[in-house]
Amino acid sequence: MVTEDIKYAIKKLKIEDIDGISKIGEGAWHSVYRIKRKMEADIVIRIKKEKAYGQLQEFNELDLKTEYESSKAYYELANQCSVNICPSFFSYFLDESIVFTVESFMGEGKRIQDLTNLEAYTLGKKLGYFFRDMHGKEPGIKGFGNLLWNGKQLEGSLKQDIAHIWQSDNNYYENVMYKLIGTDLELFNKDIIVEKILTIIKKRRGNQQSIALVNQDITPENIIFGCHNVALIDPFPKLDFNLKYAGYFVFCYKFLLMAYSNAPRYQKYHYKDHYEALSKMADGFIYGYIDVNEYLYKQIMDEYILWTLLETYENYEMLHKEELSYKTLLQMGDKDMINQRLEMCLEQLVKLCKTN
């Protein structure tokens, strides 16, 4: 359906050679339209929804600039690493009455459930190559952590010395581990967890990772799986450590997506039924990222364990909150689901600590 919003956006953009408009997607934040053109490449217009997670979204120019300038910065760097992996064109329009982005159309893609294991592995490998290059690039943005638009440019919200940030990052995992084993949870394998985490952190402290522009939202909804190519859209970038986020991809595709399969926000994707393809994608990713460097493999697996530790504790904390927000209920599910996930996390954590 062609809405008034999309008509307005098209008029603002002065697009004339239109050959068709179709709605191609809807995430939590945007309604997405493909604009076919007669003479030029198709484009996509993503119109910001008025409500997200049941809440009316106020117009906050600084937040919107931060969001879209971050996507733009991510796409610019990505385009230096590889052609066609991210939109080569991206712009946005902010007004109290309407907010939208306009960007390259990156293809239709297959659903993850329609990929063969071999296709999943091959596309995962391509992502691995890309992320290795992306993580090796100087981000060109000062600071560390979440990005902020300061009126002139993007900057990382943390300004401390990087060696200090690295040690705080390591301390953080140790603290979470001690908090987890100090809980009332029946942990039969406490010693295994403690020993493994302490060993990882001891080694990790002496191997400071590089700062990269990383993507915190690499779920399949934001990846377009083509026959031979793969594209990344809708990134959520920040400045953080490179191998930590290589480990995050593996964590996501080997565990997290399955663990959130029954949460209302993700139910429709049936991730649990596609465990094999997702896991193959992670295998391909590792292969592409490490490029036969066995030591890198160990480091990525260690990061995977650390993400699992954080996830375990996050579910424990949520379970003990008096009340869950509407957003949490959608994203994580109710307390029964959180409890179930907590058990899955603990099982996975122990398994990983034993085998890696």
Ligand X SMILES: Nc1ncnc2c1ncn2[C@@H]1O[C@H](COP(=O)(O)OP(=O)(O)OP(=O)(O)O)[C@@H](O)[C@H]1O
Residues interacting with ligand X, by CB under 6 A? 24-25, 27-30, 32, 44, 46, 87, 103, 105-106, 221-222, 224, 233-234
In angstroms, rounded to a whole number, what is the distance separating the alpha carbons of residues 307 and 310? 5
| Count of residues interacting with Mg ion (CB under 5 A) | 4
DSSP output for 41-57 = --EEEEEEPSEETTEEP
Q: 167 near 161, Cβ under 8 Å?
A: no
Give the nearer residue to Mg ion in terms of CB position, either 133 or 221.
Answer: 221
Residue 260 interacts with, from ligand X, Mg ion, none (CB under 5-8 Å by kind): none
Site string for Mg ion, 24-63 (x = CB under 5 A): ---x------------------------------------
CB of 227 to ligand X, least distance (A): 15
CB of 346 to Mg ion, least distance (A): 30
Q: Which amino acid is at 133?
A: D
Give the nearer residue to Mg ion in terms of CB position, either 25 or 145.
Answer: 25
Give the nearer residue to ligand X in terms of CB position, either 69 or 234.
Answer: 234
Site string for Mg ion, 164-203 (x = CB under 5 A): ----------------------------------------
146 binding Mg ion? (CB under 5 A): no
CB of 276 to ligand X, least distance (A): 22
**CB-CB neighbours of 179 under 10 Å:** 12
CB of 282 to ligand X, least distance (A): 20
Question: How big, in percent rounded to 5, are the helix, strand and coil portions of the chain?
Answer: 55, 20, 30
DSSP output for 276-343 = HHHHHHHHHHHHHHHTT-HHHHHHHHHHHHHHHHHHHHHHHHHHT-SS--HHHHHHH--HHHHHHHHH
Q: 233 near 106, Cβ under 8 Å?
A: yes
Q: Per CB under 5 A, which region of 104-112, 190-198, 219-227, 243-251 contacts Mg ion?
A: 219-227
Q: Per CB under 5 A, which region of 48-56, 108-116, 213-221, 271-279 contacts Mg ion?
A: 213-221
> In angstroms, how far apart are the furthest CA atoms of the chain?
67
- DSSP label at 110? B
Residue 29 interacts with, from ligand X, Mg ion, none (CB under 5-8 Å by kind): ligand X
234 binding Mg ion? (CB under 5 A): yes
Q: For the chain, how big is the Rg over CA atoms in Å?
A: 21
CB of 347 to ligand X, least distance (A): 28
Question: At CA 234, angle to CA 60 and CA 109, rounded to 5?
Answer: 150
Q: 181 near 353, Cβ under 8 Å?
A: no
Q: Strand 144-149 and strand 99-104: pairing?
A: unpaired
CB of 194 to ligand X, least distance (A): 36
CB of 262 to ligand X, least distance (A): 18
Give the nearer residue to ligand X in terms of CB position, either 27 or 296.
Answer: 27
Binding site for Mg ion (CB under 5 A): 27, 221-222, 234
